[in-house]
Amino acid sequence: MLPSIRAAGCFALLTIGAGLPGPASAQSAAPLQGLTDAELDLLLSATDLLDPNGFLPGVIAPDLPFRVAPFMNRTVVGSVIQPFSTKVVVRTTLNPETASAIAEGLLRRDGWLDMYPTNPTMEVFQDAPGSTTRGAPLLCKPGLGGQMNINVFPNGSGLTQVNYSFQAFGAACPSGRARTTPNAYESVYENAVDPLQTLLSSGVTIPVLPAPAEALIEPSGNEYSGSYYKTYAKVFSSLSAEQVRAAYVGRLNAQDWATTSSTRKGSELISTVRRTFGKRTLTATFALTPVPARPA
């Protein structure tokens, strides 16, 4: 049996190079007014928010560039507006297969397309065999700068959770033309070459990391350019954080990424690995942050 989504989890991050921060949008700060200054600072730091206005529990953020499906018996968990990205979380009584088909089908009817050909290197953190997590391919919409993906999985209490993740940047959408009227989501990358392909064409191979046995994976996003690749995911498992790290580092080692160091910084577990591609040697950092279990 797969572990409950309420089981203790970990936030996994693999960085080959460095990522870039950015500004956030604003909505209502009322839900966070009861926090102390220290609690508010911790929440904003942990969620990459620049101010509390991006935290919207129980609300679908307004002015989204995509439609959230009106699922049967839908419950809105809320929205989080981060630098250059928006996440919307809803739950439904539908099964994951049906919910995934409805969510992706609505986006495709609205003109969203596959952003890239099917490419296993795009998904570093992959499901364990037997997982019921459902993920749609990375999508884009001609004329709309940005990229979209949906992750659908059982939340452990008899409901299906649907996570919409939109990043307001990305390579040009295939066969797309820019809008003649500017909008908030137009991208500076509209006519750019796919940066991941630039990285891969240099001979670099992005590792593929299947989850530990019976774990649930919630991919949270990735960032990349012609010189770096960064991807992150939530891992729900009954294993300890040390066991999860050992499993993932073992998978990296099996793909010729040699471990150079493993350390602990507070609760965060950090391992550094290295691999040579021709005349180029790359160093990658795998970081794992335990997430306390939520009460059932």
Instruction: Look at residue 70 in the predicted model and tell me its pLDDT.
Output: 93
Greatest Cα-to-Cα distance within the chain, rounded to the nearest angstrom: 56
Question: In whole numbers, what is the pLDDT of the chain averaged over residues?
Answer: 75
Instruction: Look at residue 23 in the predicted model and tell me its pLDDT.
Output: 33
Q: Is a pLDDT exceeding 50 seen at residue 18?
A: no
- Asked whether 128 and 217 are in contact (CB, 8 A), the reply is yes
- Asked whether 3 and 276 are in contact (CB, 8 A), the reply is no
Mind listing the pLDDT tens digit for each residue in 139-179?
Answer: 888 888 888 889 888 887 889 999 999 988 755 676 443 33
Helix, strand, coil percentages, rounded to 5, for the chain: 20, 35, 45
Residue 108, token pair as written in the block: 């495709």
What pLDDT band is residue 89 in, cutting at 50, 70 and 90? Answer: very high
Instruction: Look at residue 143 in the predicted model and tell me its pLDDT.
Output: 83
Q: Helices in 89-169 by DSSP H: which ranges? A: 96-109
What are 86's strand-pairing partners?
A: 81, 166
Taking the whole predicted model, whether its pTM rises above 0.85 is answered as no
Mind listing the pLDDT tens digit for each residue in 196-244?
Answer: 667 777 777 788 888 887 778 876 777 776 677 888 888 888 888 899 9
Higher pLDDT, 166 or 2: 166
What pLDDT band is residue 192 in, cutting at 50, 70 and 90? Answer: very low
Instruction: Look at residue 171 in the predicted model and tell me its pLDDT.
Output: 57
Q: What is the DSSP string of 233-287?
A: EEEE-SS-HHHHHHHHHHHHHHTT-EEEEEEEETTEEEEEEEEEETTEEEEEEEE
Higher pLDDT, 113 or 135: 113
